[in-house]
Amino acid sequence: MATAKGKSSAAAPPKKTPRKVRILVGKPGLDGHDRGAKIIARALRDAGVEVIYTGLHQTPEMIVSAAAQEDVDGIGLSILSGAHNYLFPRIIQLLREKKMGDVVLFGGGIIPDDDIPKLVKKGVDRVFTPGTTIQEIVDYVNERIRPRK
């Protein structure tokens, strides 16, 4: 588990400023294609978001437990293995069990168009398709996700 907490976080933040948005970027399942996840992690960090990157080969349990430990506001998953129909719903189920249903879950990767409405219905907030720019994802996070407390 690596945490990269933005450029300015080395110094203790002043008390009254609200804390930064905190996003966990995760790679669930066994696929090793992390190019997209790493680009997004870097872009969000550059945009001032606190990014926690899980690294590869995470189980849904590992992801949800990291999300709880790090008290994140959102989880972004990148899945290219075709296992999205199992992994997303399982993570949503675990979040609800842990009373973390308000954590915003989004994702991308190789996800056929037909599957997207089904995933959204199950509670995935947004699924990005290939060709999305970095800025679109940064804008989405900035507009959609707020610190939970």
Partner 1 sequence: MYDRKKLAGIATRRKKWHEEELTRSLRKSPQRLERFSTVSDEEIDLLCTPDPLSNFDYEEDLGYPGQYPYTRGVQPTMYRGRLWTMRQFAGFGSAEDTNARFKFLLSQGQTGLSTAFHFPTLMGYDSDSPRARGEVGMCGVAVDSLKDMEILFDGIPLDKVTTSMTINGPAAMIFAMYLAVAEKQGVPFHKVGGTIQNDILKEYIAQHSWIFPPEPSMRIITDILAYCADNVPRWNTISISGYHIREAGSTAVQELAFTIADGIAYVQAGIDAGIPVDKFAPRLSYFFNAHMDFFEEIAKYRAARRMWARIMRERFHAKDENSWKLRFHTQTAGCTLTAQQPMNNVVRVALQALSGVLGGTQSLHTNSMDETMALPTEQAVTVALRTQQIIAEESGVANTIDPLGGSFFVEQLTNGMEEKAMEYIRKIDGMGGMVAAIKQGYPQREVADAAFHFQRLVDAGKKRIVGLNAYRSQEEVPIPLLKIDDRVEKQQIARTKEVRRMRDAKKARACLSALKEGSLAPNVNLMPLLVDAAREYVTLGEMCDTLRETMGVYTDPAMF
Q: Does 82 bind partner 1 (CB under 8 A)?
A: yes
Among positions 113-142, residues that touch partner 1 (CB under 8 A) are 113, 129-131, 133-135
Q: How far apart are CB 13 and partner 1 at their closest, in Å?
A: 23
Q: How far apart are CA 124 and CA 135, in angstroms?
A: 20
Q: How far apart are CA 25 and CA 52, in angstroms?
A: 6
The phi and psi torsions of 91 (rounded to 5 degrees) equal -70, -40
Q: Out of 19, 35, 96, 146, name the contact with partner 1 by CB under 8 A.
A: 35
Q: Give the distance from CA 78 to its chain's centroid.
A: 8
Q: Does 47 bind partner 1 (CB under 8 A)?
A: no
Q: How far apart are CB 54 and partner 1 at their closest, in Å?
A: 7
Q: Does 68 bind partner 1 (CB under 8 A)?
A: no
Residue 3 or residue 146: which is nearer to partner 1 going by CB? 3
Q: How far apart are CA 112 and CA 127, in angstroms?
A: 10
> How long is the chain?
149
**DSSP classification of residue 108:** E
Diameter of the chain measured on Cα atoms: 47
Q: How far apart are CB 102 and partner 1 at their closest, in Å?
A: 25
**What is the contact surface with partner 1 in residues (CB under 8 A)?**
1-2, 4, 25, 29-35, 37-39, 41-43, 51, 53-57, 59, 80-83, 85-87, 90, 110, 112-113, 129-131, 133-135
